[in-house]
Structure 1
Amino acid sequence: MHRFSPKITKLHESVSQQTQLGQMCGSKELFRDRYEIIRILGRGGFGITFLARNALLPGKPLCVIKQLCPKTSSTKSLQKASERFEKEAKTLGQLGSHSQIPMLLDYFEGNGEFYLVQEYVRGSTLAREVRRTGRKSEAAVKQFLQELLPVLKYLHKNHVIHRDIKPQNLLRCEDDQRFVLIDFGAVKEKLAEACENSSYKNVSTNFIGTMGFAPPEQFSLRPVYASDIYALGVTAIYLLTGKGPLEFEHDRNTGEICWQKEVNVSQGFAQILSKMVKVSLEERFKTADEVMRALNLQGYIPTLNNCLTTQPPKNPNQTQREKLPIYIPPVKRTAIAIREWQAKFRSTKPQEDLHNYITQVSN
């Protein structure tokens, strides 16, 4: 039996009154003759998410139904939204082949509303995990980045910007502990762009993302791949400190988060995180590959430092001049050899031996 907080109960009551799926929660009635709606998982500015079961499949597997509600009174804009929804849904379907992205099972529209049916991932969000067990160590956050950066690389390679990376949209799978990235903002943004209703023309409504986790260019409705890197960097800082981005002071000159005094991390890792969350696009990491290379290099720095500082043992009796190799010209080497031979063999060797020895040394 699920127990909800008063806040969730009030949300459930509100959604139940406003939506068809909300009214079907807990009943035996099937949505589209197959989906049994169990409960509400959450609600955002652009839609509602429900936990459901597919009653027609063996075992009645759980799934997630996202109801997107781009309200518009214009037939033209609704048609445009429908076209964009289908295009973005197909893109999500292609991405779902990745083990860290929920699989898209179905998508459809009806009565001016759009629905995505996705694989249900059993687990907890990183936000809930930090609240329950506390902030993470530097090693744990590095491991988190090593696991998430390849997912970003995969998304960007497929020309998709997530737009809403944050601890609430990252699940740790209960079965195998892998991190799963959920709730893509791309579909929502495309639907918002397609709507001509005045309520979707202002920046505050059209903006898809989360305050503090989204970089400035995203507020200007010009997200780029590096926007996801910024959000991932802010998420890593949250894991280290247990603080959200709006809880920190910000540099008055640059607008950047003043986070380093909140936690002790190695200098190299601090530099990487700081570059991930640079406000300036010119100073920020551009690609996931760049961040991964920096992390990998940082792991080798202690070894490199040892190599650079290793020196041969010093002999206190050896002068600086004696430490340097001395170059002796060939003619001088010959003269030295002759004098040594003369001192050793002056009384015992004939003159022709001297001539032969000189010839050998010269050659």
Structure 2
Amino acid sequence: MNCFSNPKISSIHADILKQTQLGKLCGSSRLFRDRYEILKILGRGGFGITFLAKDAVLPGNPLCVIKLLCPKVTSSKSRERACKHFQKEAKILAQLGSHSQIPMLLDYFEINGEFYLVQEYVRGSNLAWKVKRNGPKNEVEVKQFLQEMLSVLQYVHKHHVIHRDIKPHNLLRSEDDKRLVLIDFGAVKEELLDVAESTMHESANTHFVGTMGFAPPEQLSLRPVYASDIYAVGVTCLYLLTAKSPLEFDQDSNTGECGWQTHVNLSEHFAQMLNKMLKISLEERFKSADEVIWALGMESYLPTLTNCLSTQRLRSDTKTTNKDISNQYLSPVARTANAIREWRVKLKTRNSNEQRKLHMS
């Protein structure tokens, strides 16, 4: 069937079909690069257009995704520079694609100043669609999501890559094996945008890559770090728990932090974890996926440690000096118990202060 005759195609998609080479091939028997049969448009964003295609060369004709990255580079000098950046970033994507939770890069090429990525097709739905259809998730489900998400984020960061655009729309749940898949890396988009901008201005400018509400302040200031992805994962958790866009939450007028606490009821430890993921200050936020994984894993040990470890205190009628106390031997178990008691006191004090602030506001 010819794509132009489909009444369900929007006017925007109709323009894509008429104006792009892949669009003109959509629904026809002609192959793109003598290999790919273009089936339909999957989506369009600020950085490109995604098509579903069939590989007519490989046995079984597997489905794949072809991404046409925008914008088009016209001058020969900028085109050469853009090609180098594109090849560099594509090779990084190829390395990352060896992880089961990242689509495999099958091919990449440039045609007349236009850049294409061919990736593995993951049959499934994004988490935003799933929440809209099934409603918010509970705490247990979000913790399970976090375990899956942090595993792939740990892998990405170890390859010195910042995703820059983690959000429910860029997270797919595979229908075939139920794995969580992270798509749409922002690094290659940023590189190509910088090159395209330099064709119009004497010096290249860096562009913001990300999504408002999911990107923290340092990313909006064009200085993303690994902790920027941690923030985006935290906002994604909020969306899964509440089905609310981050822009729907109130912000603290003093700190700029998201006022999410009254919208969902969480366990004390998980609420504290989520709060630290969403800190505006980089000093207060988790620095790495490893730190979040450790904090998530510690929750299961806290009841056992606090209930089973020795919690005996010195008798009040025992006369001891500060010197005696400092010299008193404490076993590793006792030291751990003391540390946990102190942590819980600080946590209760902090939570009560935050509740007081909420009531005052």
For residue 52 of structure 1, report the CA deviation from its aligned partner. Answer: 0.3
| Structure-1 separation of matches of 2:163 and 2:234 | 14
Instruction: Report if the CA contact (8 A) 1:24-1:37 is conserved.
Output: yes
State the partner residue of 1:181.
Answer: 182
| Structure-2 separation of matches of 1:90 and 1:22 | 26
State the partner residue of 1:54.
Answer: 55
Q: Deviations over 1:286-308 (max 9, x none)?
A: 11000001111122222223236
Instruction: Report if the CA contact (8 A) 1:39-1:52 is conserved.
Output: yes
State the partner residue of 2:215.
Answer: 214
Give 2:137's aligned amino acid: K
State the partner residue of 1:14.
Answer: 15
SS at match of 1:84: helix
| Structure-2 separation of matches of 1:218 and 1:77 | 26
SS at match of 1:257: coil
SS at match of 2:290: helix
Distance 1:134 1:8, change over 3 A: farther
State the partner residue of 1:93.
Answer: 94
| Structure-1 separation of matches of 2:9 and 2:239 | 24
After superposition, where does 1:284-303 map in structure 2 within 5 Å?
Answer: 284-303=285-304
Q: Does 1:154 align with 2:163?
A: no
Distance 1:259 1:168, change over 3 A: same
For residue 310 of structure 1, report the CA deviation from its aligned partner. Answer: 7.4
After superposition, where does 1:262-273 map in structure 2 within 5 Å?
Answer: 262-273=263-274
SS at match of 2:67: strand
State the partner residue of 1:344.
Answer: none
For residue 5 of structure 1, report the CA deviation from its aligned partner. Answer: 11
Q: Deviations over 1:23-43 (max 9, x none)?
A: 111111100001000010111
SS at match of 2:301: helix
| Structure-1 separation of matches of 2:251 and 2:309 | 37
State the partner residue of 2:326.
Answer: none
Instruction: Report if the CA contact (8 A) 1:69-1:112 is conserved.
Output: no
State the partner residue of 2:139.
Answer: 138
State the partner residue of 1:41.
Answer: 42
Give 1:272's aligned amino acid: M
Q: Deviations over 1:160-204 (max 9, x none)?
A: 11111000000001011110001111110111122203489666x
| Higher alpha-carbon Rg | 1
For residue 8 of structure 1, report the CA deviation from its aligned partner. Answer: 5.2
State the partner residue of 2:64.
Answer: 63
| Structure-1 separation of matches of 2:259 and 2:237 | 14
| Structure-2 separation of matches of 1:54 and 1:179 | 24
SS at match of 1:105: strand
| Structure-2 separation of matches of 1:126 and 1:134 | 11
| Structure-2 separation of matches of 1:37 and 1:72 | 23
| TM-score for the superposition, normalised by structure 1 | 0.81
For residue 13 of structure 1, report the CA deviation from its aligned partner. Answer: 0.4
Instruction: Report if the CA contact (8 A) 1:165-1:228 is conserved.
Output: yes
For residue 264 of structure 1, report the CA deviation from its aligned partner. Answer: 0.3
State the partner residue of 2:84.
Answer: 83
Q: Deviations over 1:301-355 (max 9, x none)?
A: 22223236978xxxxxxxx98x99xxxxxxxxxxxxxxxxxxxxxxxxxxxxxxx
Q: Does 1:245 align with 2:263?
A: no
Give 2:85's aligned amino acid: R
Instruction: Report if the CA contact (8 A) 1:171-1:181 is conserved.
Output: yes
State the partner residue of 2:199.
Answer: 197
| TM-score for the superposition, normalised by structure 2 | 0.81
Q: Does 1:224 align with 2:225?
A: yes
| Structure-2 separation of matches of 1:270 and 1:310 | 26
List gaps (5 residues or longer) in structure 2. 320-361
Instruction: Report if the CA contact (8 A) 2:126-2:169 is conserved.
Output: yes
For residue 259 of structure 1, report the CA deviation from its aligned partner. Answer: 0.7
State the partner residue of 1:353.
Answer: none
State the partner residue of 1:117.
Answer: 118
% identity of equivalent residues: 68
Give 2:301's aligned amino acid: Y
Distance 1:7 1:270, change over 3 A: farther
SS at match of 1:175: coil
Give 2:115's aligned amino acid: F
Give 2:139's aligned amino acid: E
| Structure-2 separation of matches of 1:114 and 1:173 | 27
Distance 1:7 1:201, change over 3 A: farther
Two-structure CA RMSD over aligned residues (Å): 2.5
Give 1:41's aligned amino acid: L
Distance 1:202 1:245, change over 3 A: farther
For structure 1, which segment, 5-14 or 26-35, has the greater mean C-alpha deviation from structure 2 after superposition? 5-14
Equivalenced residue count is 313
Give 1:142's aligned amino acid: K
List gaps (5 residues or longer) in structure 1. 312-319, 325-363
Instruction: Report if the CA contact (8 A) 2:74-2:113 is conserved.
Output: no
